Amino acid sequence: MYEVLVKSDFSSAHRLRGYKGKCENLHGHNWTVEAAVSSKTLDKNGILVDFRVFKDSLEKVMDELDHTNLNELASFKTANPTSENIAKFIFDRLKTKDIIPQRVTVWESDTSCATYFGEK
């Protein structure tokens, strides 16, 4: 099995609705995102996915999130903008005919992250 992973980041604010604690207040993070694709096979050139194509796709999603209040985005009007839900949001946005992620991990700090693997 082969895996290709790309990383990116974005900065945004959010607040967790229904949460009792400091995170219910508006606050920000410098998020780090890792996205991975995997396959048992490679193309005729020995490539799973072109890094540039994969990174460009991820950057387009980061542009949607960067320097926003996540709570104000349509996708997070009802879904709480937790790390878990942000990972799923990014996973779903990356799905194209050429890129189907295996997993997306969202780091909200150096020591805390959430990963979405998709549905099997």
- Catalytic residue IDs: 23, 67, 108
Residue 20 CB contacts under 8 Å (≥ 6 apart), including other chains: none
Identify each DSSP E strand in the chain by its residue range: 2-14, 27-39, 68-69, 103-109, 112-116
Separation between Cα atoms, residue 88 and residue 46, nearest integer Å: 29
Separation between Cα atoms, residue 114 and residue 107, nearest integer Å: 7
Q: Which helix (H) or strand (E) holds 60?
A: helix 51-65
From the number of C-beta atoms within 10 Å of its C-beta (0-12, 13-18, 19+), residue 13 rates as: middle
